[in-house]
Structure 1
Amino acid sequence: MPSGCFCVGQVNKVIHHHNIGRMIKQLNEKLTSIAAEKAMYGFHQSTIGGHDDQFIQRPKTTSLVNKSMIFGRDEEKKNLLSKLLRESNQDGGRFLVIPIVGMGGMGKTTLAQDAYNDEKVAAHFDQKVWVCVSDPFDEIKIAKAIIESLVGTPNSSNELEILLQCIKTHIENKKLLLVLDDVWTEDETKWENLKLPIIMQGCEIGSSILVTTRKQEVAKIMRATNNMIHLDELNYKDCLALFNCIAFLDTDEDEAGELGDIGKKIVKRCKGLPLAAQTLGSLVRYKKTRKEWENVLNSEIWELEKGEQHVFRPLLLSYYDLVPAVKMCLLYCAIFPKDYEFEKDNLIDLWMSQNYLNSKEKNEKRRIGQNYFESLAMRSFFQDFKKDNMGNVYGCKMHDIVHDFVQFLTQKECTIIEAVKGSNQRVELPGDYKVRHLTLTSLPEGPLSFPTSFDSSLQEWCKNMRTLTLLDSSITTISPGSIMQMKCLRTLNLSRNKLNEVPKEIGELIHLRYMDLSWNRVLKELPDAVCDLYNLQTLVLVQCWSLEKLPKAMGKLINLKHLYVLGCPLRYLPKGIGSLKSLQVLDWFKVCEGVGDDEALKLVDLGIMDQLQGSLSIGILGENNFGEFLEIEKAQLGNKEHLSYFGVLFRNSDIWQRKGDSEIVKALQPHQNLESLFIWNSHGTTESLYWIKSLRNLRRLYLRTWRFCEALPPLGKLPSLEILEISGMKKVKKLGVEFLGIEEEEEQVSGILFPKLKRLSFKSMENWEEWAFVSEITIMPRLSELRIEWCPKLKALPEFLYKITELRTLEIKGCPILEREYEKDVGKEWHNISHIPNLTIQSGRN
């Protein structure tokens, strides 16, 4: 063997041994860190059921409570007592299950203790039992604890059947209050094994099981979501009272007055979390100087004595209860500043870009992301949910203490840097951090650049960066040199800036999976190099008001899943988009005439895009009716089974009636899975909507400005319809049985019409005079909101509306005849609507 080969082999061995040594050193450092964390939080090892299972010891609770330390929660306690003191369960069962749900440290156990020790509760129940369940959920241990509380002595049996029979004997024909505090398990079989629902059937009517938990899923398992009490933050006044009670317990009035202003600022940091108020109150209790209090005010929670151990401990327990992938999704939220409003779908796209949503099925990642989001939401890591008018969550926030917690866990990997006023755009990076996710905020107008010369540690730092986010900034471009230093970037968010160009060097970021350029209103074009980003999954261009075209080679983006272009004045979409087999979301498709078939995406190209899901809007139809009709037929919209929203916009014109609109509407027939349908400006007839009867899952329908339509479509038998808005139908004069979906000759109609309709709106119906239905039929029994605006000829409301008990809101505006008939106290029909709680009758002149 040549000596050269031998030397190379020896060198390789030395390098290999060196690498092993370095890895061992890193592992030892990690173990030391874990050991320190274990000591800090008081974790210890325990043996359960003969197995050496390591778990976090939850603190044990009792039913005893110090009432002098309870502030606020008056409404919650009132609600809880009303349920507990109810003589019978309205659902018909012998007992009631009441879950108290909220994030760690919110006061769930305290509320349960307060109710448990209430005098009225003590008089109402024959027996009360308090069990701290915690985790793991041990059926035998819980059964033994119940027996010991009932009998006064422990039971030595380890047979669950014997224990359950014993419980049954001692609670039979007694009114029982059973509190299960700190329930964690989502395993339905554990709950079923305990057989409490069966055993409780032997109790006296009015018995209750009160459960405290951090997980809404527990309430679902116990089939008790209707009785759930959710604890939100304390209001500022009560939180301050709790803090002051602890902080100034041993302080004279003069000292308290001097420190009170600082205390108020400290309480604002608690954001209504009782545990934080208690912890910080006890922390400053023995601090007597203004400087000491200001140090507490200005420090991060995890830098404070007791702060990390006490405030974060409940959150840490919830965190360790998550599966690893969901943990990563939670920690990624640290890239955003406090009080940031998350958009659910956007957050899922970001998780996807970091490869946190692993799935063998390529189309399953969004569903997995939805599940992860719900898992975090149901454990109270998110709050302040925003919902659309169908009740679907689309946005949320994170409690400041939770945000502090995720920042604490990621403080050297996720960094937020706020620009200093008057500084230039050169961003200096912290050398001692191994930052993977960087957020820059409040950058002034101008180009963005990182230093061109780094020491070796900073070069490594920048090279391994995975996320760059700019928020509340005004950059005009990002320097090519900065882009070239971040070649491992997965996520780039330059939204809401003043970008006038994107450098061609962007094509060098071959690992990029997510790019958001939305709301850059002066951005006119994208470089062709964008099409070299073959790993790109999400491209967001929403509301780029000056962007008129996309690069022709978009077909090269073979992994693109989500393309958002709503609000862009694009002349057309490039033809290559039709060949993207991974594309799932295309929020806006503009029909374009006068562009060659080999250049622009056509309606017919939608025919092979069956993987589209979520939302799809098509506009603007009505320019070339015959050609569009043929293309829409070939688009095979009926095959798009994953679409939940479908919107169609026709060209706006009220001068003449376009021929062919009805044929186009007929060809628009979507898949029966559709949930929302919007159609604007059609000149067709509602007969062309014959297919609407097949949309059994349709929950929301908007028909706007069908100027030449003389009758409304038959909608009464749609079983899922919840929201209906009809507007701009100028030729409609009467609403009769055809609107209900029944024929005039039908003598008997079975079932309920509009069975789930909750919100109904009529607007700008200029010639509508009569609304007459057969009174014997049950119509719209769940209607809760009715709005009628700008219908000047409508003479009266139908009688069936007066009988709807669910109707809570009635708004009449710009309807002079109705205004006279239903005028408060004096109108002839006032007595028929006076019972409606939210009633608005407003003249169109107001």
Structure 2
Amino acid sequence: MADALVSIVLERLASVLEQQVTLEVGVGSEVDNLNSTLQSIRAVLADAEKRQFSEELVKVWLERLKDISYQMDDVVDGWNTALLELQIAAEHPSIPKISSWLPSPYVYFKQVLLRCDIALQIKDIRKQLDAIANERNQFNFVSSSTIQQPHRRTTSSVIDVSQFCGRDADIDVIIDKLLGGSSQESSSLYIISIVGMGGIGKTTLAQLAYNDDRVKAYFHERMWVCVSDPFDPMRISRAILEALQKESSGFHELEDVQQKICTLIADKKFLLVLDDVWTENYELWEQVESSLKGGAPGSRILVTTRNENVSTMMGTTYKHPLGELSKEQCWSLFSNIAFYGRSREKVEELENIGRKIADKCSGLPLAAKVLGSLMRLKDNKEDWESILNNEIWQLAVIEKHLSTPLLLSYYDLSPAVKRCFSYCAVFPKDQIISKDGLIKLWMANSYLNSRGSIEMEKTGGDYFEDLVSRSLFQDFRRDDEGNIISCKMHDIVHDLAQSLTKNECFILEIDDEKEVRMASSFQKARHATLISAGRVGFPSTIHNMKYLHTLFAAGMVNLDPTAQRPPPNLFKHLVCLRALDLSVNNFFGELPWNLGKLIHLRYLNLSNNETLTELPETICDLYNLQTLDVSRCSLVETLPQGMRKLINLRHLELDGSGVFELPKGIGKLTSLRTLTYFRIIGDVCKIGELKNLNSLRGGLLISGIDNVKDAEEAGEAELKNKKHLHHLVLRGFRRLGSAASKGVTEALQPHQNLKSLSISDYDAATELPRWIAASSLAQLKKLEIVYCAQVTCLPPLGELPLLEILRIEGMKRLKYVGGEFLGSLPTAFPVLKHLSFKHMVKWEKWEVKGEEEERRSVMPYLHSLTTYNCPKLESLPERLLQITTLQELNILFSPTLQDRYHEETGRIGPKYLTSREVIELLLN
């Protein structure tokens, strides 16, 4: 990790030299000497980081090096920010940051002062670094130039190791107990405890049982709560209630929460998993237990814990001790991962070494998964022998049998990925970590320096996948396309990250006692997360942590009117902040004006603030800002007018906010990657502002299109040049005439990479734009055409080669759909899965017939077909009812169809479908 910090500083120092700080006498040589000293120190860091776990003096030396590296980074970042401020002042003379009446010599004078200031700071740092460099000689570190670098295997995909457990017999026992008979049924709770040491697989076993199809079918309600330490009855009860309600709870009193739980589980069989319980305090457990006794017979509570005393205290009905895997089970788990995708010859070559490595896992599933994932990246025998004989196995570290495999995987990471991994210590245990959010935080802390033309976000994605491939992340949530959107860390992997960032990353559970201690205990913290039960409030001493780079104060919801509110001068002292998260927070109606003093800030998350009403104009002085998130801040209706100064802004998150219009000049923010919607409003926000925003990614909603004058103005958006935009919504054509509507829409043709398109309120034009065709949108997977009232004929949408979802709604004049809808290719709609027609009030006929249609394949993979409010439609095409993949047929508020298929139910049966059981027929 120190290696990564030093690397960041070296890159920063190079930028200082490029910006001609050398005009200040002596600074150039100081920077050169700093650079040289850092290079020599970096050469021994690989050895130093390995030895820190067995040599306390080495650990102290590394802590001092990290501290001075942070100082250097702050100094150089301050210099770069000052130069950026001067640049923006020159480009925007009307903006009174540096008054426009000041003559140009003022700017020159300020540059001279800046150089003098950085010169003094660099000289001071140089003295401290020289002392650290001299001390390294006493340790006789081995230079990395003499350490063999491992060869890395390139893999084609990430293996999901969650499918490998090695606990089949244990799973069967737990499921049998969950679904067992009535011999133990009584008024008392039936509690099953899985007991075992850390990393033994307790949570994995509980997850497999919880997600078993038989278990899902047996219980009316299932809830999963991570308990951890401390055991907070209010937090746990609220988590149970939110799992039952499938939404956040508005209750603030424990009694209210528990009464609601009692109501929701009354006479229902429920399964509650309490994962990772530590407390032995019965009084705390009793506060939770009391609300769980009203379930139906057959209800179960499944507990995982490392401590047998916890199991006894909770009144366990059945205790399941989980021991180490057998030697063969451990080998099976390890080899399934390590040899995944390898040839038989390669497996035979590496098996003997692999068995010796697997033996070092000591029967622990987590160790086997981590080591297996590491060895999967190694392709030759020499690399495997290097791991087997690595000196780390000899280190006397805590929980050696587990820490050693984790350390081996950690040391195999590149310096940059090590830094990204260790940063995750700032998250509380068992927290769901958003992939995109994590990458933005890495970026804010300068861990993702650009690699040539490669985007920082792409670099962050690569680093994330590297950590996934090594089993350092788990419990993934994925989107519809299978991409990971969030993850968690195993608590022991989290322990490793915390041990690597001791005195650097802190998770602070705020109470009155800790409020006092914060004044002195955490002054040198760099990253901190505040957790409050809502009674203590915002800690007044937070400003003492003046070196913070990251502050998470998310979820600081004030449940007590007397609780401490944030001090007005909160941001005055936190001048080093790079990332600030104040989401899900009700302490702020308005943000303090001095937020603009956080000149290093790159990430600002204000999402889900129910009381926030506006953003201060000073936010536009945050020239380094990369991410601004005000999503779901419903009371925030405007953005500051000076937003055009935020030239480094990459992600502007506005979903669910009250922001109605974007400020003039938003088109100057050419670094934007995320802009979720764009509303066109006369001269205030014209569509031409989109012209140069060609880095936009993901999705964009454009509304108010009827404020565009003509096709020429629409063309100024140049949507065709936005090749990274994959999802587009065009809305609001209603006030345009027929000719204007058609011309404007034709000019809004997107790039051919588009995957999802929605057009709505397209009332005037009689036909859809010509570019909705296979030649223009070959990558399109989803198409929605909504409330296009004057359209009378559908284009050949069947020619779109990748279209999977088609929704057509509100075509009030369309009467006939025939062969023109299918197109002319041999297979019409070759991959379409979901087809929906709604509010087609004049639609009478839908035909798929004729010689040409008979020779072609039509919708061969259709899964669901819906008609809703199609009152005049007489029948469905016979050929569609013969499709064997059809699983759902929904006919709603379409009386003619309902009468036809209700009377002829036999027509929708074995003659046309493979089985009556495979179709869901819904007739309203």
TM > 0.5: yes
- Aligned residue for 2:389? none
Q: Does 1:548 align with 2:637?
A: yes
Match among 431, 439, 447 for residue 348 of structure 1? 439
Q: Does 1:738 align with 2:829?
A: no
CA distance in 1, matches of 2:883, 2:376: 39
Change (3 A) 1:796 1:75: farther
Q: Check the 8 A contact 1:784/1:808 in 2, yes or no.
A: yes
- Aligned residue for 1:614? 698
- Aligned residue for 2:751? 671
2:758 aligned counterpart, secondary structure: strand
Structure with greater helix percent: 2
Task: Please state how far the C-alpha of 1:674 moved relative to its aligned partner.
Answer: 1.2
Match among 496, 507, 515 for residue 584 of structure 2? 496
CA distance in 2, matches of 1:632, 1:517: 33
Q: Check the 8 A contact 1:427/1:451 in 2, yes or no.
A: no
For 1:430-441, list aligned pairs within 5 A.
431=521, 434-441=524-531
Match among 874, 877, 880 for residue 801 of structure 1? 880
1:510 aligned counterpart, secondary structure: coil
Q: Check the 8 A contact 2:613/2:635 in 1, yes or no.
A: yes
2:529 aligned counterpart, secondary structure: strand
- Aligned residue for 2:240? none
1:439 aligned counterpart, secondary structure: strand
Task: Please state how far the C-alpha of 1:803 moved relative to its aligned partner.
Answer: 4.2
- Aligned residue for 2:804? 722
Task: Please state how far the C-alpha of 1:735 moved relative to its aligned partner.
Answer: 2.3
Q: Check the 8 A contact 2:338/2:372 in 1, yes or no.
A: yes
CA distance in 2, matches of 1:812, 1:316: 59
CA-to-partner distance for each residue in 1:448-482, whole Å, 9 max, x for gaps? 45328x8xxxx5xx222111112222269743432
- Aligned residue for 2:53? 34
TM-score by length of 1: 0.62
CA distance in 1, matches of 2:338, 2:468: 22
CA distance in 2, matches of 1:140, 1:576: 62
Change (3 A) 1:717 1:533: same
Q: Check the 8 A contact 2:889/2:922 in 1, yes or no.
A: no
Q: Check the 8 A contact 1:665/1:684 in 2, yes or no.
A: no
2:808 aligned counterpart, secondary structure: strand
CA distance in 2, matches of 1:815, 1:110: 60
CA distance in 1, matches of 2:373, 2:423: 27
Task: Please state how far the C-alpha of 1:184 moved relative to its aligned partner.
Answer: 4.3
Match among 71, 76, 79 for residue 170 of structure 2? 71
Task: Please state how far the C-alpha of 1:554 moved relative to its aligned partner.
Answer: 1.3
Q: Check the 8 A contact 1:808/1:836 in 2, yes or no.
A: no
1:463 aligned counterpart, secondary structure: coil
Q: Check the 8 A contact 2:884/2:914 in 1, yes or no.
A: no
- Aligned residue for 2:614? 525
- Aligned residue for 2:307? none
Q: Does 1:474 align with 2:565?
A: no
CA-to-partner distance for each residue in 1:374-424, whole Å, 9 max, x for gaps? 33334343344333334443334444444444344435322222334x899
Q: Check the 8 A contact 2:627/2:651 in 1, yes or no.
A: yes
CA distance in 2, matches of 1:363, 1:52: 30
CA-to-partner distance for each residue in 1:240-281, whole Å, 9 max, x for gaps? xxxxxxxxxxxxxxxxxxxxxxxxxxxxxxxxxxxxxxxxxx
Change (3 A) 1:484 1:613: same
Match among 744, 755, 767 for residue 830 of structure 2? 755
Match among 771, 776, 779 for residue 846 of structure 2? 771
1:468 aligned counterpart, secondary structure: strand
User: What's the RMSD between the two structures over aligned residues?
Assistant: 4.8
The aligned amino acid for 1:790 is N
- 5+ unaligned residues in a row in structure 1: which ranges? 1-11, 40-50, 57-66, 77-102, 118-129, 150-180, 195-304, 743-748
The aligned amino acid for 1:782 is Y
Task: Please state how far the C-alpha of 1:536 moved relative to its aligned partner.
Answer: 0.7
2:772 aligned counterpart, secondary structure: helix
The aligned amino acid for 2:868 is E
- Aligned residue for 1:215? none
Q: Check the 8 A contact 2:680/2:687 in 1, yes or no.
A: yes
The aligned amino acid for 1:733 is K
The aligned amino acid for 1:528 is E
Q: Check the 8 A contact 1:685/1:710 in 2, yes or no.
A: no
The aligned amino acid for 1:788 is T
Task: Please state how far the C-alpha of 1:777 moved relative to its aligned partner.
Answer: 1.2
Change (3 A) 1:72 1:449: closer
Change (3 A) 1:33 1:671: same
Task: Please state how far the C-alpha of 1:54 moved relative to its aligned partner.
Answer: 8.4
CA distance in 1, matches of 2:338, 2:578: 43
Q: Check the 8 A contact 2:870/2:894 in 1, yes or no.
A: yes
* Deviating more after overlay: 568-577 vs 530-539: 568-577
CA distance in 1, matches of 2:402, 2:578: 33
- Aligned residue for 1:602? 686
The aligned amino acid for 1:839 is I
Change (3 A) 1:330 1:115: closer
Q: Check the 8 A contact 1:131/1:146 in 2, yes or no.
A: no
CA distance in 1, matches of 2:847, 2:821: 10
1:348 aligned counterpart, secondary structure: helix
1:716 aligned counterpart, secondary structure: helix
CA distance in 2, matches of 1:431, 1:511: 24
Change (3 A) 1:508 1:674: same
The aligned amino acid for 2:812 is K
Q: Check the 8 A contact 1:775/1:800 in 2, yes or no.
A: no
Match among 785, 788, 800 for residue 864 of structure 2? 785
TM-score by length of 2: 0.57
Change (3 A) 1:575 1:71: same
Task: Please state how far the C-alpha of 1:307 moved relative to its aligned partner.
Answer: 7.7
Q: Check the 8 A contact 2:872/2:894 in 1, yes or no.
A: yes
Match among 497, 500, 508 for residue 597 of structure 2? 508
Task: Please state how far the C-alpha of 1:796 moved relative to its aligned partner.
Answer: 3.0
Change (3 A) 1:341 1:319: same
Task: Please state how far the C-alpha of 1:565 moved relative to its aligned partner.
Answer: 1.9
- Aligned residue for 1:199? none
Task: Please state how far the C-alpha of 1:337 moved relative to its aligned partner.
Answer: 2.5
* Deviating more after overlay: 425-434 vs 473-482: 425-434
CA distance in 2, matches of 1:658, 1:444: 57
The aligned amino acid for 2:472 is F
Task: Please state how far the C-alpha of 1:143 moved relative to its aligned partner.
Answer: 5.0
Task: Please state how far the C-alpha of 1:645 moved relative to its aligned partner.
Answer: 1.4
- Aligned residue for 2:532? 442
CA distance in 2, matches of 1:333, 1:33: 20
Task: Please state how far the C-alpha of 1:73 moved relative to its aligned partner.
Answer: 7.4
For 1:171-320, list aligned pairs within 5 A.
182=372, 184=374, 308-320=399-411
Task: Please state how far the C-alpha of 1:839 moved relative to its aligned partner.
Answer: 3.2
CA distance in 2, matches of 1:327, 1:786: 50
Change (3 A) 1:418 1:545: same
Match among 718, 727, 742 for residue 662 of structure 1? 742
Match among 792, 798, 808 for residue 710 of structure 1? 792
Q: Check the 8 A contact 1:713/1:738 in 2, yes or no.
A: yes
2:730 aligned counterpart, secondary structure: strand
Task: Please state how far the C-alpha of 1:646 moved relative to its aligned partner.
Answer: 1.3
Q: Does 1:683 align with 2:750?
A: no
Q: Check the 8 A contact 2:673/2:696 in 1, yes or no.
A: yes
Identity fraction in percent: 37
- Aligned residue for 2:7? none
CA-to-partner distance for each residue in 1:279-320, whole Å, 9 max, x for gaps? xxxxxxxxxxxxxxxxxxxxxxxxxx9983344444444433
- Aligned residue for 1:302? none
CA-to-partner distance for each residue in 1:505-529, whole Å, 9 max, x for gaps? 1111100000011222332221121
- Aligned residue for 2:892? 813
Q: Check the 8 A contact 1:583/1:611 in 2, yes or no.
A: yes
- 5+ unaligned residues in a row in structure 2: which ranges? 1-29, 59-145, 152-165, 176-198, 209-323, 355-370, 385-395, 559-563
Change (3 A) 1:721 1:110: farther
The aligned amino acid for 2:686 is K
CA-to-partner distance for each residue in 1:660-700, whole Å, 9 max, x for gaps? 33222212101111111122221144733210211111122
